[in-house]
């Protein structure tokens, strides 16, 4: 199987990658279908996806609500860093009914950053003497995927994509390409990022977060620079089997640019390439995050959807590199229940059914992604 890839060079070092369909000469077209999804987030997403009650942020942070991790042995759990236990905990839930995996594919920007700092501090504290290896082992970005593989005794394809704000999108892309080559295969695809004290301080100094205290309830009313920090672990079981699927990932698009016009032009092209004739987007799910510096990207893209319901999600999970994974989980929930939670709606347009959702997210105004999801 071969996938059609189009590279559009808008200017040096800026590109758009649009993944369409399999070449027309193939009689069988392959798509990526999502069959199960789970999300550990700052909201009660393990038990409720209506968001009638929203958990408030604290100190410009939205910290995850961790479950009891009943499937993880206690002696292993106490050695796990936060990102690792989040990832393993989320994976154990979706793998309960799907023990057979052909691969584990994760996207993260920082992995277990907190454990990395602990290990570096140990080097100083013990004068480079006898160090505890646990923090080092847990600190690498591929520690989450590796621990899932060890826990499930899975020796198949295991990889972690570390592309900052496009890490999860590249994980999805990897899974899609694997499905083109491996019919009837099952893959675990996920996005994991944590709020570590070290990383929060660095991002805060870089101006990524609000200088003043802002609640997630007032996030979109804030006109200042920065957002609020978030974290989550989201896992999906994907394959090429349409039967029983929750949703279908129809297309993925990515672009690096600081130019608003290039983003809107890329989105128009993305829709032309991937929507059928007279097909419309029923829901535009925006990654708007309350940062005045990036608001114009979302405003210009929203202008393309005058008759489409527009919704936002980052007041639920906060801002973090793999936030698009949360958006995809939310899209699956909406498509399955055919209901858009009122707490996420920005502009409502009545629809008989929700069949197509477009997720647009950008990270720091530079990395932009489009994910087209269908029922």
- In tens, the pLDDT along 129-176 reads 666 666 665 567 788 999 999 999 999 999 999 999 999 999 999 999
Using an 8 Å Cβ cutoff, are 329 and 357 in contact? no
Instruction: Give the torsion sign (CA, 176, 178, 183, 185).
Output: negative
312, 315, 139, 108: which is closest to 228 by C-alpha? 315
- What is the number of other CB atoms lying within 10 angstroms of the CB of residue 100? 10
318, 310, 311, 286: which is closest to 55 by C-alpha? 318
Angle, vertex CA 16, rays to CA 231 and CA 10, nearest 5: 125
Residues 6+ apart with CB under 8 A from 11: none
Token reading at 217: 């309830």
Using an 8 Å Cβ cutoff, are 96 and 159 in contact? no
Task: Say how many domains are in the chain.
Answer: 1
| CATH code of residue 351 | 3.40.47.10
Helix (H) or strand (E) holding 150: helix 143-152
pLDDT tens for the 375 residues of the chain, in order: 334 344 444 444 444 444 444 434 343 557 899 999 999 999 999 988 889 899 999 999 999 999 999 889 888 888 888 899 999 999 999 998 766 899 999 999 876 566 666 667 767 776 676 666 666 655 677 889 999 999 999 999 999 999 999 999 999 999 999 999 999 999 999 999 999 888 899 899 999 999 999 999 999 999 999 999 999 999 999 999 999 999 999 999 999 999 999 999 999 999 999 998 889 999 999 999 999 999 999 999 999 999 999 999 999 999 999 999 999 999 999 999 999 999 999 999 888 899 999 999 999 999 999 999 999
**Which residues constitute the domain of residue 138?**
3-374
CA distances for 77 relative to 83, 122, 151, 155, 322, angstroms: 12, 21, 11, 21, 24
Distance between CA atoms of residues 350 and 337, nearest Å: 16
């Amino acid at each position: 199987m071969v996938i059609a890839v189009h590279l559009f060079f808008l200017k040096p070092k800026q590109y758009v990658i649009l993944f369409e369909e399999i070449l027309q000469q193939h009689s069988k077209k392959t798509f990526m279908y999502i069959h199960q999804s789970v999300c550990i987030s700052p909201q009660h997403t393990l038990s409720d996806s209506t968001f009638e009650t929203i958990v408030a942020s604290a100190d410009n942070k939205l910290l995850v609500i961790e479950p009891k991790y009943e499937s993880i042995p206690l002696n292993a759990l106490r050695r796990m860093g936060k990102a690792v236990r989040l990832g393993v905990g989320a994976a154990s839930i979706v793998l309960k009914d799907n023990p057979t995996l052909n691969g584990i594919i994760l996207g993260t920007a920082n992995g277990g950053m907190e454990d990395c700092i602990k290990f570096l501090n140990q080097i100083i504290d013990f004068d480079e003497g006898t160090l505890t290896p646990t923090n080092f082992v847990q600190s690498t970005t591929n520690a989450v995927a590796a621990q899932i593989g060890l826990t499930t005794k899975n020796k198949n394809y295991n990889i972690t994509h570390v592309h900052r704000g496009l890490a999860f999108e590249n994980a999805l892309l990897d899974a899609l390409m694997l499905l083109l080559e491996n019919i009837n295969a099952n893959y675990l695809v996920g996005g994991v990022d944590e709020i570590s004290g070290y990383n929060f301080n660095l991002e805060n100094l870089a101006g990524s977060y609000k200088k003043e205290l802002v609640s997630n309830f007032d996030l979109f009313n804030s006109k200042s620079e920065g957002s609020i920090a978030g974290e989550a672990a989201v896992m999906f079981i994907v394959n090429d089997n349409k039967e029983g699927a929750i949703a279908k990932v129809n297309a993925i698009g990515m672009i690096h640019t600081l130019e608003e016009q290039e983003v809107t032009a890329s989105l128009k092209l993305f829709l032309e390439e991937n929507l059928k004739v007279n097909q419309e987007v029923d829901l535009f799910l925006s990654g708007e995050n309350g940062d005045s510096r990036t608001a114009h990207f979302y405003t210009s893209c929203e202008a393309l959807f005058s008759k489409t319901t527009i919704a936002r999600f980052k007041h639920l999970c906060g801002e973090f590199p793999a936030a698009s994974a949360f958006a995809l989980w939310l899209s699956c929930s909406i498509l399955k229940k055919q209901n858009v939670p009122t707490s996420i709606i920005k502009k409502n347009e009545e629809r008989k059914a929700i069949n197509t959702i477009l997720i647009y997210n950008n990270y720091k105004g530079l990395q932009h992604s489009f994910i087209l999801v269908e029922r």
